[in-house]
A and B are shown apart, each in its own frame.
Chain A
Amino acid sequence: MNEMPVKDVKAFTANDFGSDQEVRWCPGCGDYAILKAMKTVLADIGRTPDDIVFVAGIGCAARFPYYLSTYGFHTIHGRAAAVATGVKLANPELDVWVVGGDGDFMSIGGNHTLHALRRNVDLNLLLFNNAIYGLTKGQYSPTSPVGTRSPSTPGGSIEQPVNPVRFALGAGAKFVARAADTLQTHLPGVLKRAHANKGASFVEILQNCLVYNDGAFGAINDRSQSHEATVRLEHGQPMVFGKEEDKGLVFDKETGAFEVVNLSDLASKDVLAIHDETNLVRAQALAELEQPGFPVPLGVIYAEIAAEFVEARGFSGTKSKWGRDELKALL
């Protein structure tokens, strides 16, 4: 007997968010780690798979929706943010995640990333940045550093790469964060913060491509050395890093730039920069910190509460208050 389906009220575990599909990423791909973290996060958030949608473009990362038990839409290259915007317009009550690689988000779909961010549509946009085109067999990408040798740049690439965090801040994003695939104690917290933000949440996840770009992020996503190469940002906390927490960042108000200091050289820790995720100027300075020379900032770089697009347009629910009487009045 067919009946209207009813909502499941049981608690879902991380495993419940896995699908029956065989995962087709290369063994050792950073995407496995992100998938694992995501399942944990979804279980913690506590919504049923029925109220969650993953939208993806094209590329290795974009296969993500197939491996989750939520609703999923694997779309076309670069357009996931636009498709996801439509999902939200139709049903603002859904949790919508957008997954794509550096090709999807920063190249063919750069325009859609820009506009989803500036509109502040309530989407969680996860950029899996591996600085290479994997699925098309290893060409350089818009986030590849200068000099990247690839099948299409045998002499090394000459293009200045795009810095996704700087791009997002420039687009007017109200939530910008960065994480790395293998840092499983850090990544879930960032994803949860992204979900909690009502508006467009942009998360760059540094992701290792074992086959075409192994070690592209050096020590950052090497768990044994990561603390030397990254600074974990905590709102209201001093910017301290290093395995022994022996280094820190100070902010030079004259130059508007950060400097690395050894804590042992300081008379007082009071000079250390305190992370204020609501400070846009600081966030822009943080976006400039790169290896070598600086620790790469991980965590929530910028977060500001702002009006969400679909809500501000006055759209809610899925049903229409519009009926024959309203139509007659319009005619």
Chain B
Amino acid sequence: MSDTATDPDAAGAAKVPPLVVRFAGDSGDGIQLAGYEFAKSTADAKSDFMTFPDFPAEIRAPIGTLFGVSAFQIQFGADEVLTPGDRADVLVAFNPAALVTNLQNLKSGGVLIVDDSSFDARGLKKAKLETNPLEDGTLDGFQLITVDVVKRTLEALDHLGLGRKPATRAKNLWVLGLVYWMFGRPLDTTQDWLTSKFKKTPEVAQANITALKAGHAYGETLEFSAFPTLSAPRIAKRHKGKSRIISGAQAMALGLAAVAALGKRDIVYCSYPITPASTLLHALARFEGGVRTFQAEDEIAAISAALGASFAGSLGVTASSGPGLSLKTEAMGLGISVELPLLVIDVQRGGPSTGMPTKPEQSDLTMAIHGRHGEAPLPVLAPATPDDCFWIMIEAARIAIETMSPVIILTDAYLANAASDWELPDVDSVPDIDWPAVTSSGEEFQPFTRDPETLARPWVAPGTPQHAHRIGGIEKAQGSGHISYDPANHQEMTKARAEKVSKVADRLPPVELEDGAQDGDILVIGWGSTHGSIAQAAKELNAQGKRVAHVHLRHLWPLPRGLDELIKRFPRAVTAELNTGQLCSILRSEYLAPVTCISQVNGQPFHVSDLKSEITKRLEAPVS
């Protein structure tokens, strides 16, 4: 980091490797809340970070069960942090089930904080344990700290006279206090937040703050000096301007608000609740202008209403996840046929069918590119980071309007929920989004004449005088747009619709390798949310003297110009994808290039260590 060099503290701090903390407990234990507060405190400490909320689909699963475990992981450090980290340095487990399901996420020798209040026969049985892991040697390789958190919290809150149940609910704050102590973090940000959050119930605020402080004080009594350096403040001043914590979903919502602001037109967002896309609807519904939100009766109604809004001259936007995208395909075909702009956001999750609703996967790529009846191409984009989620909405809107086409944006359950520190964009430096001006030639309006440059048809909304026209899903005559079953016309229109989409690539910046690399012994091709993992793996391998290049595709269709040549410049090319090789197949069929694939479909982001070993394996294999 160039600007950290000027910071007196940075040089020392940067030598400390990044640290990973993971909280795991029942989905009703307030794990995500504790995690988010820890992230805020991390931002205050000027560390860079990336979070990974890893939770089940069940809202409040039966207490203590394996399937009810919710986890939150954060990696932070003085240097740039690209991923939430592979394995944790510190794991907090609130019950036996959380311990069983998360122990694999703790580094050997790592610090393990266990709330032992539910390690009785009943708790062990719920976690399907025959012996107590606190006693049977399972945890021998870790630095174990056992505390009866429930008891300690109740003791701390005893004088407040709250009763057992409400007092127990503050146990996540007690643990957070302990973890804050461990990393030398001040308590004020969380205290202030609690005070304002529970303004109307000051006794609840008081209870939570008391628990937080009690946990922190408990740390002082621990004979714990495993990480003496952890208490040193780490400083990574990455940003020149103001910054805030942002998740991918929040960034997308702000991106859509930006589209409205830059276009000076309200946009219309229509969706039907589905995990993990609903957070976008929630965020947009809170805005006080710019985006007209509509919770439709189903997925089909959502995209239909969005398309209706686009017909009426607004920009229609819809979002869903895999099952919903399946339902929307017919209407997407209509959008392609009538050539209207439309944004379709797919927050991908493990499939097929209901699959793993809260877990990320990148398995809708082929469907996004090809999954419609008829010849129905459309542009497909994928943001790489939470920050990019903001910018890609603006870019997708420009492409949709310039091309007069639906555009699919592929994100996933990880990217939607993962949060990082975000430098606020300089809004004034972003050009307007131009809504096409309507002019009158005096002749009869022809809705399917094409711009010679983009091949887009004119977009004229109802209400525009002297331009009334009809559009529909039946094939239209080039130019007039009248119903046409003429064979030559259908051939011509099919070609025009494909060329129009293909021409998007002409307007894209040339494809470039990450980190300014020029060549290497292997090219790793990624797309979407895997950016951080791949970038980190390449960085670490290159630090070891390997020659790994990384290209990350934000545009999946049309593919960027020059990608074919770029791939063929390398002796080895491999995609890394959270599917069974969908981009790989596309590259092979498009370019006849011998691309292979690093595939993972376990509902988790890539671990950097796994990627490193897979890439190394391929580097060691002879070039075919």
Task: Tell me how far the C-beta of B481 lies from the nearest C-beta in chain A, rounded to whole angstroms.
Answer: 11
* Residues of chain B with a CB closer than 8 A to A71's CB: 462-463, 468-470
Total A-B residue pairs with C-beta atoms closer than 8 Å? 218
Q: When the two chains form their complex, are residues A86 and B466 in contact, meaning their CB atoms are under 8 A apart?
A: no
Q: Which positions 564-580 of chain B face chain A at CB distance < 8 Å?
A: none
**Best-buried of A6, A68, A321 by chain B (most CB within 10 Å):** A321
With a CB–CB cut-off of 8 A, which chain B residues contact A313?
Answer: 292
B471/A73 in contact, CB under 8 A: yes
What per-residue 1/0 map shows which CB atoms of B258-299 lie under 8 Å from chain A? 101111111010100000000000000001111010101110
Roughly how many angstroms separate A61 CA and B36 CA in the complex, as a whole number?
A: 55
Please name all residues of chain A whose beta carbon is closer than 8 Å to the beta carbon of B268 when the two chains form the complex.
86, 89-90
- Whether A72 contacts B308 by the Cβ 8 Å rule is no
Taking a contact as CB atoms closer than 8 A, the residue among A21, A69, A318, A324 that contacts B468 in the complex is A69
Contact A322–B290 (Cβ < 8 Å) = yes
Task: Assess the B261–A87 pair: CB atoms within 8 A.
Answer: no
Using CB atoms, name the residue of chain A closest to B471: A73
Establish whether residues A327 and B427, one from each chain, have CB atoms under 8 Å apart when the complex forms.
Answer: yes
Contact between A8 and B466, CB atoms less than 8 A apart: yes
| Nearest 9 interchain pairs by C-beta | A86-B308, A74-B472, A86-B305, A322-B290, A72-B470, A90-B314, A82-B304, A2-B439, A90-B312
Provided the pairs A86-B304, A326-B290 are in contact, do residues A73 and B472 lie with their beta carbons within 8 angstroms?
Answer: yes
Cβ of B593 under 8 Å from chain A? no
Write the nearest CB–CB distance from B266 to chain A, whole angstroms: 4
Q: Give the docked Cα–Cα distance between A88 and B288 (Å).
A: 19
**Assembly CA distance A115 to B298 (angstroms):** 10
Does B468 lie within 8 Å of A94, measured CB to CB?
A: no
Q: How far is the CB of A242 from chain B (nearest CB, A)?
A: 43
Give Cα A114 to B301, complex, Å.
12
Q: Would you call A324 and B462 a contact (CB within 8 A)?
A: no
B290 touches A85 (CB 8 A): no
B367 contacts the other chain (Cβ, under 8 Å)?
A: no
| Complex-state Cα separation, A93 to B464, whole angstroms | 12
A115 touches B312 (CB 8 A): no
Closest to B390 in A: A331
User: Contact between B312 and A87 (Cβ–Cβ < 8 Å)?
Assistant: yes
Residue B72 lies at the interface, judged by CB distance under 8 Å to chain A: no
B441 and A330 form a contact (CB under 8 A) = no
Given A50-B462, A83-B304, does the pair A327, B309 have CB atoms closer than 8 Å? no
Candidates B292, B296, B314; contact of A82 at CB < 8 Å: B296
Contact B257 A76, beta carbon cutoff 8 Å? no
Main SS class of interface, A: mixed
- Cross-chain contact A322 with B266 (CB below 8 angstroms): yes
| B483 is an interface residue with CB less than 8 A from chain A | yes
Contacting pair A86 B306 (CB below 8 A): yes
Contact assessment for B314 and A318 in the assembled complex, using a CB-CB cutoff below 8 Å: yes
For B305, give its contact among A66, A72, A89, A318 (CB under 8 Å): A89
Q: Could you tell me if B264 and A74 are in contact, using CB atoms closer than 8 angstroms?
A: no
13 A-B pairs whose Cβ atoms sit less than 8 Å apart in the complex? A49-B468, A58-B473, A65-B470, A70-B468, A72-B471, A74-B473, A76-B304, A85-B296, A91-B313, A318-B312, A320-B266, A321-B289, A324-B262
The complex places the Cα of A112 from the Cα of B298 at a distance, in Å, of: 9
Chain B residues with CB below 8 A from A2, complex form: 439-441
- Asked if B34 is at the interface (CB within 8 A of a chain A CB), the reply is no
The answer to whether A323 has its CB under 8 Å from any CB of chain B is yes
Q: Is B217 located at the chain interface by the 8 A CB criterion?
A: no
* Cross-chain contact B307 with A86 (CB below 8 angstroms): yes
Cα distance A276–B334 when bound, in Å?
43
Tally of contact residues, B, Cβ under 8 A: 66
Contact across chains for A87 and B462 when beta carbons are under 8 A apart: yes
**Complex CA–CA separation, A18 to B249 (angstroms):** 47
CB within 8 Å of A: which B308-334 residues? 308-314, 316, 330-331, 334
Q: Is B474 an interface residue (CB 8 A)?
A: yes
Contacts of A327 in B (CB 8 A): 257-258, 260-261, 290, 427
> Chain A residues with Cβ under 8 A from B305's Cβ?
82-83, 85-86, 89
B399-433 contacts to A, CB under 8 A, are 424-425, 427-428
How far apart sit A204 and B98, CA to CA, in the bound complex (Å)?
Answer: 59
Q: Is the CB of B466 within 8 A of A50?
A: yes
B309 lies within 8 A of A87 (CB): yes
Judge if A111 is at the interface, Cβ distance under 8 Å.
yes
B438 touches A318 (CB 8 A): no
Assess whether B343 is interfacial by the CB under 8 Å rule.
no
CA distance A6 to B316 in the complex (A): 26
Residue A254, interface by CB 8 Å:
no
B403 to chain A minimum Cβ distance, whole angstroms, is 20
Q: How large is the interface on A (under 10, 10 to 19, 20 to 34, 35 or more residues)?
A: 35 or more
Task: Say yes or no: A83 contacts B482, CB within 8 Å.
Answer: no
- Could you tell me which A residues sit within 8 Å of B by CB distance? 2-8, 19, 21, 48-53, 55, 58, 65-66, 68-76, 79, 82-91, 93-94, 111-112, 114-115, 313, 315, 318-324, 326-328, 330-331
Question: Which residues from chain B contact A50 at a C-beta distance below 8 Å?
Answer: 462-468
Contact mask for chain B residues 324-366; partner A; CB cutoff 8 A; 1 contact, 0 none: 0000001100100010000000000000000000000000000
Closest approach, in angstroms, between the C-beta of B335 and any C-beta of chain A? 10
Other-chain residue from B289, B298, B462, B473 in contact with A320 (beta carbon distance below 8 A) = B289
**Shortest distance between the CB of B429 and any CB in chain A (Å):** 11
Q: How far is the CA of A79 from the CA of B301 in the complex (A)?
A: 7
Report how far A2 CA is from B472 CA in the complex, Å.
27
Q: Within 8 Å of chain A (Cβ to Cβ): is B384?
A: no
Minimum CB–CB distance for B553 against chain A, Å = 28
Interface residues in B229-273 by Cβ distance below 8 A to A read: 244, 254, 257-258, 260-266, 268, 270
Q: Is the beta-carbon distance between A323 and B264 smaller than 8 angstroms?
A: yes
Contact assessment for A5 and B440 in the assembled complex, using a CB-CB cutoff below 8 Å:
yes
The reply on B300 being an interface residue by CB < 8 A is yes
Which B residue's beta carbon lies closest to that of A331? B424
> Is B300 touching A86 in the complex (CB atoms < 8 A)?
no
Q: A94 touches which one: B301, B462, B472 (CB < 8 A)? A: B462
Q: Is the CB of A82 within 8 A of B308?
A: yes
Q: Find the B residue at minimum CB distance from A17.
A: B468
Separation in Å of the A76 CB from the closest CB of chain B?
5
Inter-subunit contact A112/B297 (CB<8 Å): yes
A321 to B292, CA, bound (A): 12
What residues of chain B lie closer than 8 Å to A48, measured between beta carbons? 465
A87 to B294 CA separation, bound complex (whole angstroms): 12
User: Which residue, of B260, B289, B304, B307, has the highest number of chain A Cβ atoms within 10 A?
Assistant: B304
CB contacts (< 8 Å) of A7 on chain B: these are 465
A58: chain B residues at CB < 8 Å are 473
Most B-side CB within 10 Å, residue of A83, A84, A88, A321: A83
Residues of B within 8 A of A5 (CB): 438-440, 464-467
Starting from the known contacts A82-B304, A86-B268, A322-B289, 6 additional A-B residue pairs (CB-CB under 8 Å) come to A76-B330, A86-B306, A90-B316, A115-B297, A318-B312, A322-B257
